[in-house]
Structure 1
Amino acid sequence: MEDLKHSLITISTSNISVLQTLLTSFHLHNCSPTPQAYRFVFKTLTKTSQLNNITSVLNHLETSEKFDTPESIFKDVIFTYGSSGKIQEAINLFFKIPNFRCVPSAYTLNALLLVLVRKRSNLEMVPEILLKASRMGVRLEESTFRILIDALCRIGEVDYATELVKYMSDDCVIVDPRLYSRLLSSVCKHKDSSCFDIVGYVEGLRKTRFSPGLRDYTVVMRFLVEGGRGKEVVSVRNQMKCDRIEPDIVCYTIILQGVIADEDYSKAEKLFDELLLLGLTPDVYTYNVYINGLCKQNDIEGGIKMMSSMEKLGSEPNVVTYNILIKALVIAGDLTRAKTLWKEMETNGVDRNSHTYDIMINAFIEVDEVVCAHGLLEEAFKRNLVVKSSRAEQVICRLCEKGLMDQAVELIAHLN
């Protein structure tokens, strides 16, 4: 092996083939190449980008050697072929494994599948490959299904992925709980949140021995809220309690968001009190959702008081908190109070974002204070913030109406 390693260092600068080097190195010591030697040769060919020589080495290994070839060698070569885009060569090698005095298993099948699932177009070949592999006596393991399900989830084919999970359960294959979570997350990502029966879907998975955890319930709740189905979120929370899983602050925040979106404000009050009684500490996201609910009820004073309470309880308001309150004040026609909060942001070290500027620019346009709107727009540009093009066009039009053509032209030049 030492002679072989030394010989292969200079092989790229000589005309001697890798195969010849392999055989010569061992012949000098009156012995035959070992499986480890072949594995080293394949790795060397891969590192030195001499993939064309792999075929000749494989042929010699198949026809001239007598030892049982370790399956790990084929895994390495299959990965090498896959990384180089030689998909058909990888497939052919897998089905030739018995010729090398080796019994293929899920170990090498998984290697081939990992190569195939990198591209969606290759997935069409998978069913036939699985069928042929089965005829060769290769038994699909949980790891094999995991590769396939992960690939299907990644490309959005969640119905096929679900069928595979059900097949695993029917075939008494132990399913890793993380695989269920991966599937559920993918379903919530690719299905229509406004109408898909996600609760019924989870119940269907339960029949395949799935026990949802806190993270799974959180994914389902967020899916329902995104679809505007806040009332169903409450039923999910009740199911969690039946499963003896206590919702955390993230869950309660999502539930609050759902019931507030449905304008069930009395329920939101009860939920907020409930989470406090459970000893949960609201974070800035929880407060923002609750403050937004107060503002939707036109209780802006309550929202401002809640923001003050946040600070006392050690949860600093962020830009979203201020945006919610400033927008509510603008809608209520209290631009003076909105300006006060605008200045307060700078005092408290909270950076304004594009949305903050958009709210105030629009407010100044509405009260015909176009110079102030123009000033904020210029300020936003200097901070490299992205402002809606429609908002900038509004400012330009108002500047022209006021006869402020120079400012309008400068603004147009800035946009271009």
Structure 2
Amino acid sequence: MARSSSWHRMSNFMRKYRKIPHSSFKTKWNESLKHKYAMEELKTGLVATGSISIENGGAMRTIINSFRLHNCEPTPQAYRFVIKTLAKTSQLENIASVLNHLESSEKFDTPESIFRDVIFAYGFSGRIEEAIDVFFKIPNFRCVPSAYTLNALLSVLVRNRQSLTMVPEILMKASKMGVRLEESTFGILINALCRIGEVDCATELVKHMSEESLIIDPRLYSLLLSSVCKHKDSSRFDVIGYMEELRKTRFSPDLRDYTVVMRFLVEGGRGKEVVSVLNQMKCDRIEPDIVCYTIILQGVVADEDYAKAEKLFDELLLLGLTPDVYTYNVYISGLCKQKDIDGGMKMVDCMRKVGSEANVVTYNILIKALVEVEDMSGAKSLWEEMERNGVERNSHTYDVMIKAFLKVDEVVSAHGLLEEAFNRNLVVKRIRIEEVICSLCDKDLMDEAMELIAHLV
């Protein structure tokens, strides 16, 4: 009985004095709910009747009042929302007061994402100095800067040449702050340098990345190569040697890269070197497509190496590639340069058989070749065939025919084609119009000549 009484007293004591712990789930849920309501209050306070009302420090008052109303403290998300709202509504002058309060009055560790937003807001509005100042003040906000915010700042600085000159100094200061340059950082710089044509500097950065064993995005190699081909002299620059240098930094060119190099060499009139690039492709086990063969054909035809052109055309057929209209045009151009116009005509028939219709370029090549051998009858026949086949004549077609008619002293026909070109709103060479006017004057066709002069004026 005494034992039972003792247990009863102990039980009463525990019920009277014990502390019942709160459920951690209920506490987190309650806090989350309060923050949710506070954020809704904040959004309502910032946007009133469709217009933002956060001038003269109103932004901070709205944050404080919204969270005080729900008995909780402002969150990083609240600050980020306000800063984004200020940026979207072009009230950048009010961001400073928000940052000052965040720096002096809050205790939480500020997320880097807030500074990234601020840097972009300042930078893309041309306030470069303020963007730089924010980056270097990041440690004051209980935050450790990293490549995340550095990349944001660099993205702003590389947008124009003037601010790009500030990058070396920024990188040095960032390094002293302990910010480590990442692959993405180099990517931003290389992209910027390529864009403004500083491909030599960009190449040095890629080599540095390789020496530091950093992972290089393969797209950077392609960017370098295309930039070199865009900014260097296509008739002189050793692009093949450049590509070999890149190989030493673990570059493996693909079909697109080889195509860019081939086009660069053809533009520079270096058809023989294009063939060596094709051979290198084969060594790398990369199958050239019809675009590659078309470019190579263009190069060897320009070099008047017609035997090589024949060999290449046969080769692409043996590989099972189907020539398109561009390939045929290059090949037909080669035949016409050899005065083999009949061969060019036969190729047009071959095109039809494989379902590739001749286009305006095809006809222009053939008409010009016929005009050069003074076969006006054949040229006129092709001119009419274009209309029957629904192929629209372009400025070049008219120019070739007008010039041909003037050469054989058919001034009226030349004048008729010129008027037709005008009616179709095609651009005609000024010199060709002047030649027609002179020929009309020689034939005493002064009214027609005066009409053309008025048109020219």
When normalised by structure 2's length, the TM-score is 0.89
Letter in 1 for 2:261: V
Letter in 2 for 1:74: F
1:132 maps onto 2:170 in alignment: no
- Distance, in Å, in 2 between the alignment partners of 1:143 and 1:395 is 61
1:62 aligns with 103
- Distance, in Å, in 2 between the alignment partners of 1:273 and 1:51 is 66
Residues 371-394 of structure 1: CA deviation (Å, up to 9, x unaligned): 111111111111111111111111
Instruction: State the 1:13 CA deviation.
Output: 8.1
Unaligned runs of at least 5 residues, structure 1: none
Matches within 5 A, 1:135-284: 135-284=176-325
1:295 aligns with 336
Give the counterpart of 2:145 among 95, 98, 104. Answer: 104
1:359 aligns with 400
- Distance, in Å, in 2 between the alignment partners of 1:130 and 1:104 is 13
- Distance, in Å, in 2 between the alignment partners of 1:159 and 1:12 is 51
2:82 aligns with 41
Matches within 5 A, 1:49-128: 49-128=90-169
1:4 maps onto 2:47 in alignment: no
Instruction: State the 1:134 CA deviation.
Output: 1.1
2:29 aligns with none
When normalised by structure 1's length, the TM-score is 0.98
- Distance, in Å, in 1 between the alignment partners of 2:117 and 2:421 is 55
- Distance, in Å, in 1 between the alignment partners of 2:295 and 2:47 is 61
Residues 68-126 of structure 1: CA deviation (Å, up to 9, x unaligned): 11011111111111121111111110111111111111111111111111112211111
- Distance, in Å, in 1 between the alignment partners of 2:208 and 2:319 is 41
Instruction: State the 1:28 CA deviation.
Output: 2.3
| Contact kept in structure 1, 2:297 and 2:331, CA below 8 Å | yes
Residues 117-145 of structure 1: CA deviation (Å, up to 9, x unaligned): 11122111111111111111111111111
Q: CA RMSD in A?
A: 1.1
1:311 aligns with 352
Residues 258-310 of structure 1: CA deviation (Å, up to 9, x unaligned): 11111111111111000000000000000000000000111010001101110
1:21 maps onto 2:62 in alignment: yes
- Distance, in Å, in 2 between the alignment partners of 1:259 and 1:33 is 71
Instruction: State the 1:44 CA deviation.
Output: 1.4
Unaligned runs of at least 5 residues, structure 2: 1-38
- Distance, in Å, in 1 between the alignment partners of 2:439 and 2:55 is 78
Secondary structure at 1:211's aligned position in 2?
coil
Letter in 1 for 2:167: V
- Distance, in Å, in 2 between the alignment partners of 1:69 and 1:77 is 13
- Distance, in Å, in 1 between the alignment partners of 2:68 and 2:271 is 76
2:16 aligns with none
- Distance, in Å, in 2 between the alignment partners of 1:14 and 1:108 is 27
| Contact kept in structure 1, 2:56 and 2:94, CA below 8 Å | no
Letter in 2 for 1:6: T
The change in CA–CA distance for 1:309 and 1:222 in structure 2 (over 3 A counts) is: same
| Contact kept in structure 1, 2:278 and 2:288, CA below 8 Å | yes
Instruction: State the 1:3 CA deviation.
Output: 1.3
- Distance, in Å, in 2 between the alignment partners of 1:331 and 1:397 is 22
Residues 161-187 of structure 1: CA deviation (Å, up to 9, x unaligned): 111111111111111111110110010
Instruction: State the 1:31 CA deviation.
Output: 2.2
- Distance, in Å, in 2 between the alignment partners of 1:277 and 1:137 is 60
- Distance, in Å, in 1 between the alignment partners of 2:112 and 2:57 is 28
1:383 maps onto 2:421 in alignment: no
- Distance, in Å, in 2 between the alignment partners of 1:409 and 1:18 is 72
Secondary structure at 2:53's aligned position in 1?
helix
Residues 25-67 of structure 1: CA deviation (Å, up to 9, x unaligned): 1122332211001001101111222111100000111111111
Mean CA deviation greater in 26-35 or 284-293: 26-35
- Distance, in Å, in 2 between the alignment partners of 1:375 and 1:191 is 45
1:325 maps onto 2:363 in alignment: no
Give percent identity, aligned residues only: 78
Letter in 2 for 1:86: R
Instruction: State the 1:413 CA deviation.
Output: 1.1
Residues 337-394 of structure 1: CA deviation (Å, up to 9, x unaligned): 0000011001001100000000001001111111111111111111111111111111
